[in-house]
Amino acid sequence: MGEKVFILSLGCAKNQVDSENLAGMMVSEGFEIVDTPDLADIALVNTCAFIEPAVRESIDVALQLEELKNSRKVKKIGILGCLLNRYGDDLKKEFPTVDIWARAEEWEKVLTYLGKNEICFDSRARGFIPETVKWSRYLKIVEGCNNRCSYCTIPKIRGPLRSRPIGEIIEEAQLLVSQGAKELCLVGQDIAAYGIEGDGKPHLTELLKTLDKELPPDTWVRLLYLHPVHIDEKTMDHIASCKKVLRYLDIPIQHVDDEILSSMNRKVTEPDLKRIFSYAREIDPDFALRTTIMVGFPGEDDIKFQKVLHFLDEMEIDRVGAFLYSPEDGTEAANLKRQVPEKVKRNRYDALMELQAFVSLRRQERFLNRSLKVLIEETDSYGGYALGRSFREAPEVDGLIVIRNADNLAPGSFAEVKVISASEHDMEAEVIFDEGQSD
């Protein structure tokens, strides 16, 4: 084997896909991917720069890489991805000892820096990094974004929306399944807009129907990051008609008040949002719905914030991720008046999460004494329990199901379980049937 490479992927699942693609390229060129920097000759970080906390984390890791190189624990270091996209050559001046620089989607440059001038890899190769779980993989179907939300840096960092051809996506999906994937999570900045740059209409449903036809029977397809402006009742009907597409939607709404939504340039209204979520419940009362809320956007007062709380309670949203608004350089929202004090943001955030704990518990308790199909994530051979996820839990961001009498279960397998208790985030269950048992 050639030189050993450690790749740390920061930020979202979309970055993880990029890091896995880079790992696949490097392995095809003779490098070996290792799990820790202690084993590496080369240490790389694929950075995130979406919001200020992510920027700070990326810079902290870059400084740690410099320390590794200065102490001669690694020979070369590299800073890759969104941080360079956002700050360009100014960033290079701050890190003079970095050997390798590459913007997002310019992964060939990494190999060029390492002396690979004639590169013959498959650009769709997918390798493994420490974060990779073989049975649950992310599949990026779009890059960039056209939505131009007033608070968001993504269009400047990643550019306009570009959709991958359906044939290419199917080929990669089949590759991931051949590598052991049982669950494919479709990701992109806005997967609901898939194909819209062609004729002005989204083509997500066409892609889903093709995946439903081409993938093996026991495959889960999960949809993450759908902007509500591109979702209507017809889209929901198509999603529900696909046997392999889980009844789980991650639809970040950010807010509910019409004035705030307009200021955010979200292009939806409160009635639009209520119609989408209500229709999902009409299709199936068990439909798992996840959203994201931005707390403390400029102009948010107590009345506007209370609308958010009422919406979450009325629509009974299963899972909510919330974060405090931060003014990002170069965005329209950073120049808005009526900025909300940090203390007020924090208090509202706490109130939102307190309410959501009650809503989540109500939703969890719906499944008491019912059976669920779960994908096993982890087992404990000594304690006889396992951790798994059902259609209701996306990897990394949602809760888990703790499973008793799980001695015969293995990570990456499916099992049928009965729910025996529930809390705000997790549930406890017992095995009814696992895929290793016979009828």
DSSP 83-120: HHHHHTHHHHHH-TT--EEE-TT-THHHHHHTT--S--
Q: What is the pLDDT of residue 405?
A: 86
The overall average pLDDT reported for the chain is 91
Tokens of residue 309, six digits: 């709380």
Q: What is the pLDDT of residue 119?
A: 62
Give the containing element (helix H, strand E) for 258. Answer: helix 258-264
Give the containing element (helix H, strand E) for 222. Answer: strand 220-223
CA distances from 93 to 90, 96, 97, 101 (A): 5, 6, 10, 12
Q: What is the pLDDT of residue 50?
A: 83
CA dist., res. 113 & res. 101, Å (int): 8
Measured CA angle at 116 (ends 172, 44), to 5 deg: 70
The residue type found at 12 is C
Give the containing element (helix H, strand E) for 175. Answer: helix 166-178
Q: Are 389 and 374 contacting, i.e. CB atoms less than 8 angstroms apart?
A: yes
CA dist., res. 36 & res. 358, Å (int): 40
Q: Are 320 and 366 contacting, i.e. CB atoms less than 8 angstroms apart?
A: no
Q: What is the pLDDT of residue 438?
A: 37
φ, ψ of residue 172 in degrees (nearest 5): -70, -40
Q: How far apart are the first and last CA of the chain?
A: 46
CA dist., res. 417 & res. 392, Å (int): 14
CB count within 10 Å of CB 146 equals 16
CATH topology of domain 4-113: Rossmann fold (3.40.50)
CA dist., res. 357 & res. 353, Å (int): 6
CA dist., res. 272 & res. 353, Å (int): 24
φ, ψ of residue 13 in degrees (nearest 5): -65, -30
CA dist., res. 14 & res. 186, Å (int): 9
Q: Are 137 and 52 contacting, i.e. CB atoms less than 8 angstroms apart?
A: no
Q: What is the pLDDT of residue 408?
A: 83
Across the beta sheet with 183-187, the strand order is 136-140, 183-187, 220-223, 245-250, 288-295, 319-324
- Name the stretches of the chain with pLDDT < 50: 437-439
Homologous superfamily of domain range 371-434: Nucleic acid-binding proteins (2.40.50.140)
CATH topology of domain 136-365: pyruvate-formate lyase- activating enzyme (3.80.30)
Helix (H, G, I), strand (E, B) or coil at 319: strand
Q: Are 372 and 389 contacting, i.e. CB atoms less than 8 angstroms apart?
A: no
Q: What is the pLDDT of residue 436?
A: 52
Q: What is the pLDDT of residue 439?
A: 36
What residues does each domain of the chain span?
Answer: 4-113, 136-365, 371-434
Residue 389, Cα to own-chain centre: how many angstroms?
16
Look up the pTM and report it: 0.92
Q: What is the pLDDT of residue 121?
A: 55
Q: Are 193 and 231 contacting, i.e. CB atoms less than 8 angstroms apart?
A: no
CA dist., res. 123 & res. 107, Å (int): 9
Q: Are 414 and 434 contacting, i.e. CB atoms less than 8 angstroms apart?
A: yes
Q: What is the pLDDT of residue 274?
A: 96
